[in-house]
Amino acid sequence: MPTAISTIPNLGPATEAAFARAGIRSAEELRAMGADAGYLALMKSGSPPHFIGYYVLVMGLQGRPWNDCKGEEKKALRQRFDQLKAEALATAAPSGLPRDLETALSALGVIPAPRR
């Protein structure tokens, strides 16, 4: 039986719900993906990027408290976060929405068709 994402240290029900919206439904799946791929999936599913959320995830997957991230390690994680954020933005639609969501919403007439 899959283990809830909220069993990972530092992660609670709101984070678990955000991962579910990104299609990640278990702690095992998230651990197998790793922090970078998991956080990228969150951003691509529409969750706004937030550095603290990223390093909290990294620390949690290592079994460490969130406030254990300091100094050079935190600086390195900030660089990696910025790279992930840039990657997520590069795959976003001009509206800022994930491309597949923008396409679906415009097909339904909820938002105007994107200009490409």
115 lies in a domain?
A: no
- Rounded to whole angstroms, how far apart are CA atoms 27 and 81? 21
- Rounded to whole angstroms, how far apart are CA atoms 39 and 109? 30
Residue range of the domain that includes 97: 5-107
What pLDDT does residue 89 have? 79
Residue 51 sits at the vertex; the CA angle it makes with 5 and 87, to the nearest 5 degrees, is 90
What pLDDT does residue 75 have? 97
Q: CB burial class (10 A; 0-12, 13-18, 19+) of residue 47? A: middle
What pLDDT does residue 109 have? 76
What pLDDT does residue 110 have? 73
What pLDDT does residue 45 have? 87
Averaged over successive runs of 10 residues, the pLDDT of the chain (116 residues) comes to: 95 96 96 97 90 96 95 96 89 60 70 64
Domain CATH code at residue 75: 1.10.150.20
65 lies in a domain?
A: yes
Distances (CA, A) of 7 to 1, 17, 34, 38, 81: 14, 13, 15, 16, 23
Number of domains in the chain: 1
What pLDDT does residue 10 have? 96
What pLDDT does residue 24 have? 97
Q: What is the largest CA-CA distance in the chain?
A: 48
